[in-house]
Structure 1
Amino acid sequence: MGLDDFKIIFDNPWSTYYPGQTVTGRVVIKINSAKKIRGINCKIKGEANTCWATDRQEQNHEGRYENESQTVTGHEEYFNMQYYLLGSANASEMELPPGEHVYPFTFSLPHSLPSSFEHDYGHIRYTVKAIIDRPWKFDQETKAAFSIVANLDLNCEGRAMEPLHQELSKTFCCLCCGSAPLRVNVTMPVRGYVPGQAMSIRVNVDNQSGVIIEVVKLILRKIVTFKANNPRICSRREKIVIAEVSKGPVEAGGTSDYEQTLDIPALPPSNLTNCGLIDLEYNLKVEAVAQGWWHRNLKGNNLVFIGTVPLANYQSSIIPPVNKIDQQKGNDYQDKLADPTYGGYPSGYPAFTNTTDGSYPSVPPTAPPPPLDNNTGNPTTQPSLNIYPNMPPPSYEEAGWAVRSLRENNENFHVIGNNNHFAPRYPVYKFSS
C-alpha cells in the first residue's frame, strides 16, 4: 500500500485529560495512489495490566521440591469503544483518492478513571487506534497513547494539611553495655505537596552515642503494590526512589540542626483508587547511617501525599508556565508557548486573565471545577472547591518512567506508533520565590 503517512493527532497539545472530559483529535492519512478500502475504524480503550515472573517450589513426581518459574498476570478494563470514521464493517468497497485525508474523532471519558501509570511490572494505559479496513488484505493500523490525570485536591485530604513531626531514637551496643541514645527529630509544615513544589524539612540530630553518624539521608519514595490474579492471586511491592538529599557527618557526642529541601518532579497523584491492580503511595524515609558495618542504621518512614491541586494556605504563590510545549515532530502545536490564553490546557480550570501590563498576577491556588455531565450539562458530583480565587494553570510534564513500546500481547508487530516513546504527563506548578 502506498502509505506515506498515517498518524493520530490530539487537539490537546499535551494529550492529557481529566476523567469526564471529551477527547478530540484527527486521524491523518496520506497516500500516493488511489486505494480500495472498506472504511476507517477508530478504537479507544482504557485498561490496567500487570505481569511478572515468580519463583515457587513445586513437588515433582518423586516427591522432591523443585524451583519453578511462573508468570502471573492481572487485567482490568475501564472502557472499550469503537466506531467507524468512514464507512462501516459491512460497507461496500470504496476508493480513497491519493493525497492527504483528515478524519476527526471525538469521545467522552468516563468520570471514574485512575491516573495513567507506567512501570515494568504493570501499567494503567489509555490509547487510540485507527485502522484502515482493507478488503482481502491486511489492515493498516496506527496507535497513540494519551494521559489521564485523576484530580486530587490536597485541600480535600485532611491528612495532607497536617504537619509532620517524627522523633527517632536508638542506642548502640558495645559488648554488654548500651550507648547513650542517638536522637533524630524531623519536622515538616505539611504532608501534602504538588509537583513543582519543594519539601522543606527541618532536621535536628543529637548524637550522644559513641558512634559517628556518617550521613543523615532524606529520601522521597514511591511505594507501588502490584496485584495479579491469574493463574493465582499474588502481589509484589516495589520501592522507587524519587529524590534524595543527605548531610553529614555528625561526630560522636555532637549535634546538628539544619534545613534541607526535596524538589518534587512530575509524578502521578496518590489516588489510584479506581484501579484494583496497582496501589500507589509516597513516603519520606529518614535514615541515619552509622559508621561500622556492625551497627544498624536508625530508620523511619512517614506518609506524604502528592496531589494535583496545592494547599491554599501553604507556600508561595503560583505563576504561569512559560516553557514551550514539548511535542513530537509534526504536531501542529510544536512551536506554541504554554500560555494561559491559548486553549490547549486540559479543561476544568477557571478562566485566567493576565494583567494590563502583560505581567501575570500572583494569586493563591484554586481547585478546578467538576466536569459537566454530558447528558444534563450540569456539574457532576465530583468534589470541588470553588471558594478560592483563580490560579494560573500548571504545565504538563512527562514523568521519569517512560515505556519503549505500546505493543500488546497478540498485537500485530507492524502497528505504526507502537515503538514510539511514551511517558504519561502530570501537572507541574511553578511557584514564586
Structure 2
Amino acid sequence: MRPGGVRSFALELARGPGGAYRGGERLCGRVLLEAAAPLRVRALVVVARGGAATHWLEGRSVGVNAVSSDYAARVEVPLSRPFLLPPADTGETTTLPPGRHEFPFSFQLPPTLVTSFEGKHGSVRYCIKATLHRPWVPARRARKVFTVIEPVDINTPALLAPQAGAREKVARSWYYNRGLVSLSAKIDRKGYTPGEVIPIFAEIDNNSTRPVLPRAAVVQTQTFMARGARKQKRAVVANLAGEPVGPGRRALWQGRALRIPPVGPSILHCRVLHVDYTLKVCVDIPGTSKLLLELPLVIGTIPLHPFSSRSSSVGSHASFLLDWGLGALPEQPEAPPEYSEVVAEEEMAASGQGPFPLLQDANMSLDGPFFAYIQEFRYRPPPLYSEEDPNPASEAMRPRCMTCSTADMHLRAHGCCWSS
C-alpha cells in the first residue's frame, strides 16, 4: 500500500477550543480517518498525557570565562492507559475500506490535576495524541491540546479570614531624620475570583517634612524550580494610586476599590512551579526607599457563595470596620419612648390586632412555654394613682406604737417615735 493511501488523519474533542476540563471528568472525542484506497492498519493508539516543565539559563563569570548553567525539570502526569483501536492488539492487520472512518474514544481524567499554565520559564500542558500504525509505512500522528482548570474554592475558613498588617519607616535625607511614616492596611478576606473588587482599608500617617504618595497593586509571582534552584518572575496585574499625603497629615482609605482583571488562578500544588498573588500597599517617600506592606491573596475559580458565606463575610466586615473606627457604636443609646406613646399600641395589641394574640385558654397550666404566660400581663396599663389605699389593712395588721401599743392614728396624734 502506497503512503498516500491516507487522505486525512485528525483528532477532535467533544468540547470546543474554549472548553476546559476538571479533574475527575470524562474526556470524550473521536479520531477521523479518510482513506483513498483500501488501507491496512496494524493499530490505532490514543493516549492522553500531561506534564509540567521548567527551563532557564543562568550565566556567571569564572575568572575571565563566562559559564552558563542550564536548569531544567519535568514532571509527567499519565492521564490514561493507551486506548487501542481495534481493542485487541493481536499483531494482525485490519483492512479498512476506502472512505471516511470515525473511531470514538473516552477517558476518565484523574481526580486531581494542576491548572494549565504558560509562562516564560515553564508551563503546564495537557494533550491527547493519536498514532496510526501501518505495516512498512511511517506512523501517522495527530495531536490535540486541551485546557484543565483546577477548582479553587474560596468559600473556606482559611480564605475567608481577614488579612491585615502594619509597617513604619523613618524618612531620611542626607543622613538626617525627616520624621516617621507609618502604614497599616486590611482587607476583608484572602480569597477572591477574577472580576471581584478588593476593598482596601488603610491608614497612612505622615510625620515627615515632605508629602508622600500611597499606592496599591495586585502582583503575580511565578516561581520556577529545577535542581534545587529557583527563578521568579513578577508582574503587576492591577494597580491604583491615592492622593498625596502632606507633612503632618493623616489619610484614610475607607474601602478603596481595586478590581481584579481576568487572570489565571493560583497554582499552589505543583512540584516544579507555583503561581502566587499578593496585594502590595506601599508609600513612596521622597529621598528614601518606599514603605511596603504585602498581604497574601489566593485567586480562585469558585466565587463566593451569596448565602452560605454571607454571615462569615458580613461578620468579618463588621469586625474590621469596628477595629478601624469606621462603624463604631453611638456614644449615647437612644432614649426609650414615653409611656403615653406606647399605651395606644399596647391597647391595640390587647384587642387582638397586634403581632402576639392573647391566650384563649385561661385555665392553661404552667407546663408550657414561659412566654405564653407573660402575655396576659403584657398589655395591661398601670393602675390609677390615688391618695387612699383601696385595700386598707385590718385592725390586727395596723402598726402599733412600741411604747403605748395604740393604733397608728394615736401615734400621729401624740407624736410617738414609731418607726416602721
If the length of structure 2 is used for normalisation, what is the TM-score?
Answer: 0.64
Equivalent position SS for 2:158: helix
- Structure 1 partner of 2:196: 197
Q: Is the 8 A contact 2:171 2:285 kept in 1?
A: no
Q: Is the 8 A contact 1:183 1:207 kept in 2?
A: yes
Superposition deviation, residue 281 in structure 1:
2.1
Equivalent position SS for 2:110: coil
Q: 1-side partners of 2:31 and 2:179: how far apart?
A: 70
Consecutive unaligned residues in structure 1, runs of 5 or more: 59-63, 316-433
Q: Deviations over 1:280-303 (max 9, x none)?
A: 321111222234xx3211112111
Q: Indicate how the Cα distance of structure 1 residues 201 and 68 shifts in structure 2: closer, same or farther if over 3 A, else same.
A: same
- Structure 2 partner of 1:55: 59
Which residue of the other structure, out of 274, 277, 294, is the alignment partner of 1:301? Answer: 294
Equivalent position SS for 1:154: coil
Equivalent position SS for 1:179: strand
Coordinate RMSD, CA, aligned: 2.8
Q: 2-side partners of 1:142 and 1:168: how far apart?
A: 56
- Structure 2 partner of 1:398: none
Equivalent position SS for 2:155: helix
Q: Does 1:207 align with 2:206?
A: yes
- Structure 2 partner of 1:12: 15
- Structure 2 partner of 1:136: 136
Equivalent position SS for 1:138: strand
Summarize the alignment of residues 306-345 of structure 1 with structure 2, pairs less than 5 Å apart.
306-312=299-305, 313=309
Aligned length, in residue pairs: 303
Q: 2-side partners of 1:111 and 1:138: how far apart?
A: 36
- Structure 2 partner of 1:338: none
Which residue of the other structure, out of 239, 248, 271, is the alignment partner of 2:243? Answer: 248
What amino acid is the match of 1:281?
D
Q: 1-side partners of 2:36 and 2:202: how far apart?
A: 67
- Structure 2 partner of 1:73: 72
What amino acid is the match of 1:195?
P
Equivalent position SS for 2:135: coil
Q: Is the 8 A contact 2:160 2:189 kept in 1?
A: yes
Q: Does 1:24 align with 2:28?
A: yes
Q: Is the 8 A contact 1:203 1:257 kept in 2?
A: yes
Q: 1-side partners of 2:5 and 2:302: how far apart?
A: 48
- Structure 2 partner of 1:356: none
Q: Indicate how the Cα distance of structure 1 residues 2 and 283 shifts in structure 2: closer, same or farther if over 3 A, else same.
A: farther
Query: Percent of aligned pairs with the same residue?
Result: 25
- Structure 1 partner of 2:187: 188
Q: Deviations over 1:78-134 (max 9, x none)?
A: 215322234766543444444432221111122232222221211222110112223
Superposition deviation, residue 40 in structure 1:
2.2
Q: Indicate how the Cα distance of structure 1 residues 30 and 54 shifts in structure 2: closer, same or farther if over 3 A, else same.
A: same
Superposition deviation, residue 221 in structure 1:
1.6
Q: 2-side partners of 1:139 and 1:210: how far apart?
A: 76
Superposition deviation, residue 33 in structure 1:
5.1
Q: Indicate how the Cα distance of structure 1 residues 120 and 135 shifts in structure 2: closer, same or farther if over 3 A, else same.
A: farther
Equivalent position SS for 1:139: strand
- Structure 2 partner of 1:375: none
Equivalent position SS for 1:276: coil
If the length of structure 1 is used for normalisation, what is the TM-score?
Answer: 0.63
- Greater RCO (Cα-Cα under 8 Å, separation 6 or more): 1
Q: Does 1:228 align with 2:226?
A: yes
Q: Deviations over 1:130-156 (max 9, x none)?
A: 122232222222211222223322233
Question: Counting helix residues as a fraction of each chain, which structure ranks higher?
Answer: 2
Q: 1-side partners of 2:259 and 2:92: how far apart?
A: 59
Superposition deviation, residue 45 in structure 1:
0.6
Larger Cα Rg: Structure 1 or Structure 2? 2
Q: 1-side partners of 2:244 and 2:152: how far apart?
A: 39
Q: 1-side partners of 2:182 and 2:247: how far apart?
A: 12
Superposition deviation, residue 176 in structure 1:
4.5
- Structure 2 partner of 1:403: none
- Structure 2 partner of 1:269: 265
Q: Indicate how the Cα distance of structure 1 residues 314 and 100 shifts in structure 2: closer, same or farther if over 3 A, else same.
A: farther
Q: Indicate how the Cα distance of structure 1 residues 29 and 257 shifts in structure 2: closer, same or farther if over 3 A, else same.
A: farther
Equivalent position SS for 1:160: helix
What amino acid is the match of 1:21?
E
Which residue of the other structure, out of 41, 44, 51, is the alignment partner of 1:37? Answer: 41
Superposition deviation, residue 195 in structure 1:
2.3
Q: 2-side partners of 1:196 and 1:5: how far apart?
A: 43
- Structure 2 partner of 1:334: none
Superposition deviation, residue 52 in structure 1:
0.8
Q: Deviations over 1:57-86 (max 9, x none)?
A: 55xxxxx46321122111112215322234
Q: 2-side partners of 1:181 and 1:242: how far apart?
A: 30
Q: 2-side partners of 1:204 and 1:32: how far apart?
A: 75
Equivalent position SS for 1:155: coil
Q: 2-side partners of 1:202 and 1:30: how far apart?
A: 64
- Structure 2 partner of 1:173: 172
Which segment drifts farther, 239-248 or 43-52? 239-248
Equivalent position SS for 1:52: strand
Which segment drifts farther, 130-139 or 3-12? 3-12
Q: Indicate how the Cα distance of structure 1 residues 137 and 246 shifts in structure 2: closer, same or farther if over 3 A, else same.
A: farther
Superposition deviation, residue 2 in structure 1:
6.4
Q: 2-side partners of 1:204 and 1:211: how far apart?
A: 17
Q: Is the 8 A contact 2:173 2:288 kept in 1?
A: no
Superposition deviation, residue 4 in structure 1:
5.5
Q: 2-side partners of 1:225 and 1:278: how far apart?
A: 5
Q: Indicate how the Cα distance of structure 1 residues 172 and 29 shifts in structure 2: closer, same or farther if over 3 A, else same.
A: same
Q: Is the 8 A contact 1:85 1:105 kept in 2?
A: no
- Structure 1 partner of 2:151: 151
Q: 2-side partners of 1:302 and 1:112: how far apart?
A: 28
- Structure 2 partner of 1:322: none
